[in-house]
Every structure is written in C-alpha cells, then in structure tokens.
C-alpha cells in the first residue's frame, strides 16, 4: 500500500526503470532493506513506456530479447529480497534531519531512508500530445501514444504520426503485422536515420509529408482521419492512430536538492556519489566523463552505487561483494 512510512530503510531507489530494478535486486543481495518509488503505475521505465514490443540486442547474455521480457526478468530478480514497492508516486522534495533523509512525493506522502539512489532516467515524463482540441476525446478509442501490444493491430489499418526515430522504427516494425501503414509527418524531412527512411520509402507504407490531421472522425471509436496534405484534403480510414511526438520530461523538485546538474543530468564521480552524502545516482540520468546512456551501463552503475551505499552505512563492510552464488545460496530466497 502506498502510505507514508517514516521508518527509515537502508536505501531508497527513486525510479523503477532497468537501472532502478537492478539496483533494487543488488541492495537485497547486499542485505540492505530497500524501498523503490516509481511515478508510473508500472515498472520498467522507458522499456515499458516506449518500446515493450521491440527487441534489444545489446544486453550482455541476451543475443536478442524483447524489452518487456527483459523487464519481467528484472522484476523477478528485483523481487527476490521482498523490497517495498511504491507505485504511482513522484518523489519531489528532500529533507534531512539527524542523518535520515525524508522524501516527500507530489501527493504529500513521506518516506524515510538512510541513503538514496536516484535512478530517475530523464525524469518523470508524459507523452507530448496532439494539439488538436478533439484529440484527447479519442484517446483509448483508437488514438494512442504508445504501442504496448503490437498484435492488437494485426490485419488493421494504422496511421503513425511523427518524424523521429520512434515513428520510423514503429512504422517499419508494423509493416508485416498491420494491413496497411500510413506515416504522416508535418515537415518535409524526417529526423530519423537515413537507412530507415530509405527502407520505408521502398516499402508498402504510404508516406504523407508536410501533412497534418485536421479532424478525427468516428462514433464510439476512431474511424477516419481528415488530413491536410500539400495536394489538398484527404480522408483516411483507420483502425488505429499512434502518435509519436516524443516526451515531456522533468526533473521536477530534484533540481532543488543541491545536486550538481549539467544539461538535466546529475553529476556523479566514479563511485556514483552526488554532492550530497549518502545520495547516489545511476543510469541515464547521470553524467561523468565517458558516460554511455545504455541499459548495460546503468546496471553496472547501479551495482557500484549500492555497494558504495553499503559501505557508507557500515564502513566495515566490504565494497567489493563476495560472489553472488555464495550470497544467494545462503539466503532464504535461494533460486530454485
């Protein structure tokens, strides 16, 4: 249950993306009591929000894995040591008294912790919406801002809006599944990779450049889109319209915590330490020389942050843990 809890845990992880989930597992491995707070109603960060049905090829040990399957595996691993999971709460304020940090969420709930690991990625985010005043009335009735299950469009006529990587990527991905794919972009040029643009131009997709939707038509669900193209108005019959206009993201209250921030990223040293004692950060939301914004890099940063938090709480404990086999096989959560 999401209620305030002023009993301090050893570590609180802020953000349940891949970095936060792996850090949660690692905190359990190091015998730390752990609470994870996530602003969305689901875990997995951008893998769940933006590309659950896409394959990832560059996570060690998985030559190819669907993003949603990687999230399921990370969740399973994160839950080994029964951490406390607080969903639908956005951490906003930070207060410190007698070596204990108190986090306050946007809804006013308070949580106490001895150390913190910020794994908030690009911050809390929401989808950039279509500006047409009617668009919001069609959300969930044929108009979507993400594809959570691509099979729902099997044999359907779909329209994809946008000109960046996500729009191009999804248009290509949906070609073998959908009955038809129309890509609409309001500008004369795409922002995505030339290779993808060429692949699309040589495919069965219909591409409408310098075009925009001027009306959404339907009864209970979206049936047609009226589109203004350079050649005049056109009405397109649709089963689904998916809009990829990017995300609004915000660090929110985190930027007032006294952390050093460069271009919206939290500056950390090689131990993932921030400017505040006992506060660490890892994943896509951090910067240091040589930083790579990749899932695999977030995993190792999470492990470093947790081990550092462990020695911060107990300077006698080892920074370098012993083998996971030894720890897991001696724990009550032994892998069956």
Ligand X SMILES: Cc1cc2nc3c(=O)[nH]c(=O)nc-3n(C[C@H](O)[C@H](O)[C@H](O)COP(=O)(O)OP(=O)(O)OC[C@H]3O[C@@H](n4cnc5c(N)ncnc54)[C@H](O)[C@@H]3O)c2cc1C
In the complex, the residues that contact ligand X under the rule CB under 6 A are: 14-20, 37-40, 45-47, 50-51, 56, 58, 90-91, 119-124, 166, 252, 254, 283-284, 293-296, 298
Considering the complex, state which of residue 88 and residue 204 has its C-beta at the smaller distance from ligand X. 88
**How many residues does the structure list for the chain?**
336
Distance CA 57, CA 272 (A): 26
At its nearest, how many Å lie between ligand X and the CB of residue 118? 8
Considering the complex, state which of residue 203 and residue 296 has its C-beta at the smaller distance from ligand X. 296
At its nearest, how many Å lie between ligand X and the CB of residue 276? 15
Task: Please say whether the beta carbons of 25 and 78 come within 8 A.
Answer: yes
Considering the complex, state which of residue 46 and residue 310 has its C-beta at the smaller distance from ligand X. 46
Considering the complex, state which of residue 90 and residue 211 has its C-beta at the smaller distance from ligand X. 90
Considering the complex, state which of residue 60 and residue 188 has its C-beta at the smaller distance from ligand X. 60
At its nearest, how many Å lie between ligand X and the CB of residue 27? 15
The residues, ordered by sequence, that sit 6+ positions from 289 with a Cβ below 8 Å of its Cβ are: none
| Residue 307: other Cβ atoms inside 10 A | 22
At its nearest, how many Å lie between ligand X and the CB of residue 104? 11
At its nearest, how many Å lie between ligand X and the CB of residue 133? 28
Task: Please say whether the beta carbons of 165 and 193 come within 8 A.
Answer: yes
Please report, for residues 170, 189, 201, 212, 245, the alpha-carbon distance to residue 194 in angstroms, rounded to integers and kept in the order given: 15, 10, 10, 22, 19
Distance CA 1, CA 295 (A): 29
Task: Please say whether the beta carbons of 3 and 107 come within 8 A.
Answer: no
Task: Name the token pair of 210.
Answer: 């310098």
């Amino acid at each position: 249950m999401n209620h305030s809890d002023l009993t301090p845990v050893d570590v609180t992880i802020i953000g349940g993306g891949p970095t936060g989930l792996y850090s949660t597992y690692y905190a359990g491995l190091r015998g730390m009591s752990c609470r994870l707070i996530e602003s969305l109603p689901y875990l997995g960060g951008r893998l769940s929000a933006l590309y659950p049905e896409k394959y990832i090829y560059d996570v060690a040990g998985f030559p190819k894995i669907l993003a949603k399957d990687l999230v399921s595996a990370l969740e399973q691993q994160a839950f080994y040591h029964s951490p406390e999971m607080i969903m639908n709460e956005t951490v906003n304020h930070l207060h410190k008294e007698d070596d204990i940090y108190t986090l306050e969420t946007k809804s006013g709930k308070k949580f106490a912790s001895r150390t913190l690991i910020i794994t908030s990625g690009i911050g809390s985010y929401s989808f950039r919406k279509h500006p047409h005043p009617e668009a919001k009335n069609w959300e969930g009735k044929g108009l979507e801002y993400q594809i959570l299950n691509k099979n729902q469009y099997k044999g359907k006529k779909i329209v994809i809006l946008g000109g960046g990587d996500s729009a191009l990527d999804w248009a290509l991905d949906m070609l073998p599944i959908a009955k038809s794919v129309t890509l609409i972009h309001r500008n004369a040029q795409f922002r995505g990779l030339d290779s993808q643009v060429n692949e699309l131009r040589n495919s069965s997709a219909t591409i409408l450049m310098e075009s925009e939707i001027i009306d959404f038509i339907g009864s209970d669900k979206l049936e047609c889109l009226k589109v203004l193209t350079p050649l005049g108005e056109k009405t397109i019959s649709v089963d689904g319209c998916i809009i990829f206009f990017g995300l609004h993201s915000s660090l929110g209250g985190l930027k007032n915590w006294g952390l050093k921030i460069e271009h919206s990223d939290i500056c950390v040293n090689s131990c993932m330490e921030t400017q505040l004692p006992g506060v660490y950060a890892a994943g896509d939301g951090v910067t240091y020389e040589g930083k790579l914004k990749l899932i695999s890099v977030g995993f190792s940063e999470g492990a470093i942050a947790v081990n550092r938090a462990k020695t911060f709480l107990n300077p006698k404990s080892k920074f370098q843990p012993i083998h996971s086999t030894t720890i897991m096989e001696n724990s009550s959560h032994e892998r069956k």
